[in-house]
């Protein structure tokens, strides 16, 4: 019987492990976009199976978005972080608080070496984590393996860019290309202070510059890619066909026959040899998907020359990659080296891009409330707009899909895209809902008249 202090999914997992069925392969697996890479959300994806839940990156607002869209956080016990940057880890303090309130006993974090220092730094924020263990598994440790899949961490070492190169910044930060609002560069603004500080550092003493170089050499820019292989699933036993062949379907005697056939072994029954391919559907070898962040052009060579990636680009069926998730800016996607690397996966691989060119709406409830308040006072409550990038989208010769909030890609039972849950903002529907409220228009008119009567 399940103890009261043990979550149901943890208890069920332990029962599967004790029964020896922990690695039988899940029936349902899909990846879902939580944050599509836009400036207000960063890039984050959620992976679901009936056994486990995973989160790749956790930018600011990720926990809020998951709760608004009813993505189960209570089963989330593994979080993968590609890089310790605010766009990837800004939401971790709030996420840890939520997991703590739900009574989660253990959460595993996988990512670059700086992740340990970051978790130590934010421990004061959530307070004492009684009966909750925050474990870290670095890329130097063995592969991560559980009931759903095996994950390999692949470290990628970037090269510093030249002074004339533009480094894409995290969501919400202005680029060096001058696309930031003018108010950010005003006197006394944070942006102006940052520019002043950078200029001062450029004129500083050689000793300070040398210290910075030593610090950079001690902690090089490192990004983690995650190669995930879902566990194989055995073929399904064809009970109707077995019954036609005279097998004792529905009796205890059929159980060892089913087990042997699913394991790929032939069985002799009443002098007749039964082959697995006769009574079982073909087994599913287990799809492979890749989560990759390439922050700027300095990482392109590390990606293209990586030997692990090359093994999955040789065309072998057992190494066919179903999906590559790119958390990369358009400047990287336009790079000819990166495009050639994409094409080496072959036409059977789907590609999902999450970056600032996305105009997806992640919190439709906020847009709904603001649209309805706009009916009361358009100046105090202006309509919200989504960020539209002026950067030209890269053209790629591979099956490429732009990320949208709640967009799904199913690995099982069938590999396909699913857009049923994608968030959509319909201002007309928001307005109609408000106008249907009793006396709403009358109250709004009274409000406008009273405001107009105010002096000044």
Average predicted confidence (pLDDT) for the chain: 84
Max mean pLDDT among 88-102, 264-278, 405-419 falls in 405-419
pLDDT of residue 312: 96
pLDDT at 306 over 60: yes
Alpha carbon distance 388, 356 (integer Å): 9
pLDDT of residue 201: 43
Token pair listed for 378: 């358009």
pLDDT of residue 75: 86
205 burial level (CB within 10 Å; 0-12, 13-18, 19+):
exposed
With cut-offs at 50, 70 and 90, classify the pLDDT of residue 456.
low
Residue 344 lies in a domain: yes
pLDDT at 292 over 50: yes
Alpha carbon distance 66, 68 (integer Å): 6
Based on the domain organization, do 393 and 334 belong to the same domain? yes
Residue 35 lies in a domain: yes
Based on the domain organization, do 149 and 247 belong to the same domain? no
Based on the domain organization, do 374 and 248 belong to the same domain? no
Based on the domain organization, do 291 and 390 belong to the same domain? yes
With cut-offs at 50, 70 and 90, classify the pLDDT of residue 23.
low
Residue 339 lies in a domain: yes
pLDDT of residue 181: 39
Based on the domain organization, do 227 and 299 belong to the same domain? yes
The DSSP string of 176-241 is TTS-S-GGGGSTTSHHHHHHHHHHHHHTS-HHHHHHHHHHHHHS--EEEEEEEEEPPBPPPB-HHH
> Taking the CB of residue 7, how many other CB atoms lie within 10 A of it?
17
- How would you classify residue 362: left for phi > 0, otherwise alpha for psi between -120 and 50, otherwise beta? alpha
Residue 198 lies in a domain: no
**Three-state secondary structure of 258-320:** HHHHHCCCCEEECCEEECHHHHECCCECCCEEEEEECCCHHHHHHHHCCHHHHHCCCCCHHHC
Residue 193 lies in a domain: no
Based on the domain organization, do 291 and 144 belong to the same domain? yes
Based on the domain organization, do 248 and 345 belong to the same domain? no
With cut-offs at 50, 70 and 90, classify the pLDDT of residue 322.
very high
With cut-offs at 50, 70 and 90, classify the pLDDT of residue 320.
very high
Q: What percent of the chain has pLDDT over 90?
A: 52
Which of 259-263, 332-336, 388-392 bottoms out in mean pLDDT, i.e. has the lowest?
388-392
Range of the domain at 252: 239-278
Based on the domain organization, do 130 and 250 belong to the same domain? no
58 burial level (CB within 10 Å; 0-12, 13-18, 19+):
buried
Residue 411 lies in a domain: yes
With cut-offs at 50, 70 and 90, classify the pLDDT of residue 407.
very high
Which of 126-140, 255-269, 287-301 bottoms out in mean pLDDT, i.e. has the lowest?
126-140
The DSSP string of 322-377 is EEEEEE--HHHHT-HHHHHHHHTT-TT-EEEE-STT----S-HHHHHHHHHHHTT-
The DSSP string of 15-29 is HHHHHT-TTS--S-E
Closest by CA to 278, choosing from 315, 235, 327, is 235
Based on the domain organization, do 244 and 301 belong to the same domain? no
pLDDT, tens digit, 9 for 90 and up, residues 376-396: 999 999 999 887 777 888 889
Alpha carbon distance 82, 59 (integer Å): 11
pLDDT at 92 over 90: yes
Number of domains in the chain: 2
Alpha carbon distance 426, 250 (integer Å): 53
Which of 23-37, 60-74, 190-204, 213-227 bottoms out in mean pLDDT, i.e. has the lowest?
190-204
Based on the domain organization, do 352 and 406 belong to the same domain? yes
Which of 11-25, 158-172, 294-308 bottoms out in mean pLDDT, i.e. has the lowest?
158-172
Contact 301, 337 (CB under 8 A): yes
pLDDT of residue 136: 92
Residue 436 lies in a domain: no
Contact 228, 290 (CB under 8 A): yes
Alpha carbon distance 137, 383 (integer Å): 44
- Identify the residue whose tokens are 């990606």: 303
Which of 78-87, 183-192, 208-217 bottoms out in mean pLDDT, i.e. has the lowest?
183-192
Contact 290, 409 (CB under 8 A): no
Which positions ≥6 away from 282 have C-beta within 8 Å? Answer: 235
pLDDT at 117 over 50: yes
Question: What's the CA angle centered on 35, arms 309 and 394, to 5 degrees?
Answer: 55
CA 327 to chain CA centroid, nearest Å: 9
Q: What is the CATH number of the domain that holds 299?
A: 3.60.15.10
Based on the domain organization, do 24 and 75 belong to the same domain? yes
340 burial level (CB within 10 Å; 0-12, 13-18, 19+):
exposed
Token pair listed for 437: 């409220």
Residue 201 lies in a domain: no
Based on the domain organization, do 297 and 412 belong to the same domain? yes
Instruction: Pick the more confident residue, 199 or 436.
Output: 436
pLDDT at 20 over 60: no
């Amino acid at each position: 019987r399940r103890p009261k202090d043990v979550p149901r999914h943890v208890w069920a997992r332990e029962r599967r492990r004790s029964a020896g069925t922990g690695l039988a392969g899940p029936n349902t697996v899909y990846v879902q976009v939580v944050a599509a890479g836009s400036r207000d959300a960063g890039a984050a994806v959620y992976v679901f199976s009936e056994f486990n839940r995973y989160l790749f990156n956790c930018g600011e607002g990720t926990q809020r978005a998951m709760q608004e869209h009813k993505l189960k956080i209570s089963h989330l016990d593994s979080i993968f972080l590609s890089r310790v940057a605010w766009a990837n880890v800004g939401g971790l303090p709030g996420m840890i608080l939520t997991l703590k309130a739900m009574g989660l006993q253990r959460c595993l974090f996988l990512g670059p070496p700086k992740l340990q220092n970051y978790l130590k730094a934010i421990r004061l924020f959530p307070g004492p984590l009684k009966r909750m263990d925050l474990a870290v598994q670095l890329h130097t440790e063995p592969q991560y393996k559980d009931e759903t899949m095996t994950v390999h961490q692949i470290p990628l070492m970037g090269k510093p860019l030249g002074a004339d190169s533009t480094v894409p910044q995290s969501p919400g930060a202005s680029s060096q290309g001058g696309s930031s609002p003018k108010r950010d560069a005003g006197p006394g603004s944070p942006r102006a202070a940052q520019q002043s500080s950078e200029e001062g550092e450029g004129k500083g003493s050689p000793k300070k510059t040398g210290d910075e170089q030593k610090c950079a050499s001690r902690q090089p820019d490192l990004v983690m890619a995650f190669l995930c292989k879902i566990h194989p699933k055995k073929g399904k036993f064809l009970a109707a066909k077995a019954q036609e062949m005279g097998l004792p379907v529905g009796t205890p005697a059929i159980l060892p026959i089913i087990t042997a056939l699913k394991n790929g072994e032939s069985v002799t029954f009443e002098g007749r040899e039964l082959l697995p391919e006769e009574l079982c559907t073909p087994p599913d070898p287990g799809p492979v998907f890749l989560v990759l962040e390439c922050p700027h052009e300095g990482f392109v060579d590390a990606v293209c020359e990586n030997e692990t990636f090359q093994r999955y680009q040789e065309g072998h069926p057992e190494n066919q990659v179903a999906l590559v998730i790119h958390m990369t800016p358009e400047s990287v996607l336009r790079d000819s080296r990166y495009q050639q690397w994409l094409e080496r996966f072959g036409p059977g691989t789907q590609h999902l891009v999450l970056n600032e060119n996305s105009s997806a709406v992640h919190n439709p409830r906020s847009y709904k409330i603001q649209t309805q308040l706009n009916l009361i006072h358009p100046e105090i409550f202006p309509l919200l707009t989504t960020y539209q990038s002026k950067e030209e989208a890269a053209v790629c010769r591979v099956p490429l899909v732009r990320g949208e909030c709640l967009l799904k890609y199913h690995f099982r039972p069938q590999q396909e895209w699913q857009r049923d849950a994608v968030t959509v903002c319909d201002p007309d529907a928001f307005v109609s809902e408000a106008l249907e409220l009793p006396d709403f228009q009358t109250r709004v008119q009274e409000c406008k008249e009273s405001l107009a009567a105010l002096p000044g």
